[in-house]
Chain A
Amino acid sequence: MQGLIDRLTALLNDGTVARVLGWKKGDMPYDPEPAIFNSAEELKDFVYDGFCGANLSKMMIEATKLEGKTAVCLKPCDTYSFNQLIREHRVNRDNAYIIGVGCRGKLDIGKIKKDAKGITEISGTELDGQEKVTIKTIYGDKEINYTDALLGRCHVCKGKEHMIADETWGESKDTADQERFEEVQKLEAMTAEERFEFFKNELSKCIRCNACRNVCPACSCRKCVFDNTKFDAQQKANVDSFEEKMFHIIRAFHVAGRCTDCGECSRVCPEGIPLHLFNRKFIKDIDKYYGEFQAGKDPEAQSPLTDFTFEDIEPGERG
């Protein structure tokens, strides 16, 4: 991590960039938060470890509107989102200096907290850290395998290559150990009743906090259809389970063909709803009906939903 800070300090000092977008130490050892650093002194709070799961590319929409270049730290999977934003002309590439940081999978604090309460310190989560994560709690020390605490999305890692970067720092590791569409296929194999019950259960937990929308790099409309004129709690009133279903179906539909499957929606959901299942279903269908497509891989590629061929299958036909 010190090497990265040194490099960022050098970039700030020689005037290549005016600010750095990275992660800042949080109150707890496991909650670093995205932050802008304007000077080399501020960089003392900079942190990059296993808990820096946040995808910073969406913040570059606003950051690249500022004067001067902004250096941004992007993990391999974040670079897909950044490419997609370039494709949609939402970021100004000329104002961005991309540092492709290495990644060996990011940790899910929920999984760690399951058997470690009262955490005071966590070590071994850095990029060059150990295979075992040591957790100091007020009830004693615990050890856990790094790979056992990975975020769900890291089990279907898209690879260690940065799609776009001005320079890279650190070695990455491909942490994929699951089939990408395994969960979707499992659901598809169930009966309609079982699927309906599954989604009703999951979505009834939704509190309409809009965290999934706010974090999603593809959800970058200035005016959102879900912005509500009602006041405060009223807009969150949850009268019927269908409201949640409609919200999540429409949200997934709006990002269909543009979703890079970065998994941020599931990561930030305070209720732990597996929202990526919607996006992944659309990706699976697009792959199946319109040819394999990975959003953000190629900033020139045409999105499948803004394209067509004369031979497309008819709605309702199952190919």
Chain B
Amino acid sequence: MSVNENGEFRPLIVAFCCNWCSYAGADLAGSSRLSYPADVKIIRVPCSGRVNPMFILRAFERGADGVIICGCHPGDCHYSTGNYYARRRMTLLFSMLDYIGVENGRTRVEWCSAAEGAKFSKTMNEFCEKIASLGKNVRLGDLRCKD
């Protein structure tokens, strides 16, 4: 989380992007001059299946306000099936986060291919707006990591 010069709240968003699709999608968004908010911090992972549920909780603990996971469309995984496993895991994890009382909507999974620069930028803009409207993440943060 940060506050800009106008005193406006800016969320901190962590995006786990698959090397083979959405990471290249982000590149494409850049080279086609499509903008997405600078609040999104991209972490490149080899596959959406690499995203350990602990990564997401750790990101929240260290002060993220929203976490988004971008992977290849089901059926298009570079490793054939990685995103199918990720899909099951994330379904359960998001349901659990909802269960312990974290606002629904701080987490999201989006399938986004390397050719979908426009979709990438649109998704990030939407997600940023959503998190900005939810406000600061107070429920999952660790007090020690607050500035």
Contacts and interface: CB of A to CB of B under 8 A. Distances in A.
Interface of A: 187-188, 192-199, 225, 239-240, 242-243, 245-246, 249-250, 252-253, 256, 278, 281-282, 285-286, 289-290, 304-308, 310, 312-317
B contact face: mostly helix, strand, loop, or mixed? helix
Chain B: number of interface residues, binned into ranges: 35 or more
A125 to B, nearest CB: 36
Given A281-B96, A315-B91, A225 B107 contact: no
Given A316-B107, A316-B108, 19 more contacts: A192-B102, A198-B101, A225-B54, A239-B143, A240-B144, A242-B60, A246-B57, A249-B57, A253-B89, A253-B92, A281-B96, A285-B96, A290-B88, A305-B85, A305-B89, A307-B88, A312-B91, A315-B87, A316-B109
Interface stretch (B6-14, B19-27, B39-47, B134-142): B134-142
A196 B93 contact: no
A245 B100 contact: yes
Which 8 A/B pairs are nearest by Cβ-Cβ distance? A196-B101, A308-B84, A195-B101, A315-B90, A315-B109, A315-B91, A192-B101, A240-B143
Contact of A196 (B57, B96, B102, B142): B102
Interface of B: 53-54, 57-58, 60-61, 74-75, 81, 84-85, 87-104, 107-109, 139-144
Main secondary structure of the interface of A (DSSP, over half): helix
B96 A195 contact: no
Contacts of B96: 249, 252-253, 278, 281-282, 285
B101 A314 contact: no
A102 to B, nearest CB: 35
